Amino acid sequence: MSSRPPISVDEAYLEGIEKKVEDLRMIMEVSVIISSTLDFNELVTVVMEKAKKVMDAEACSILFYNKDTRS
């Protein structure tokens, strides 16, 4: 008998690794945008799109809080 795990276990492991690589790629892309733009609206838009993709979400929102006005 072989001591190798079933192929399905290997495939599941590979899928997990691929997901982690994709997540890290998204983080790297966001880092590049952060360091290359001074446009706050562009930055927020890109971060939201990447976060939405990483979380496999249909929508994304960011709430801003102003401590001076408490709103």
pLDDT (0 to 100) of residue 70: 87
* Domain ranges (residues) in the chain: 1-71
Share of the chain above pLDDT 70, in %: 90
pLDDT (0 to 100) of residue 17: 93
Residue 7 has pLDDT above 80, yes or no: no
Q: What is the DSSP string of the chain?
A: ---SPPHHHHHHHHHHHHHHHHHHHHHHHHHHHHHH---HHHHHHHHHHHHHHHTT-S--------TTTT-
What average pLDDT does the chain have? Answer: 85
- pLDDT 10s digits, 20-53: 998 889 889 888 888 888 888 988 998 888 888 8
In angstroms, the CA 63 to CA 9 distance is 41
In angstroms, the CA 28 to CA 49 distance is 14
Residue 58 has pLDDT above 90, yes or no: yes
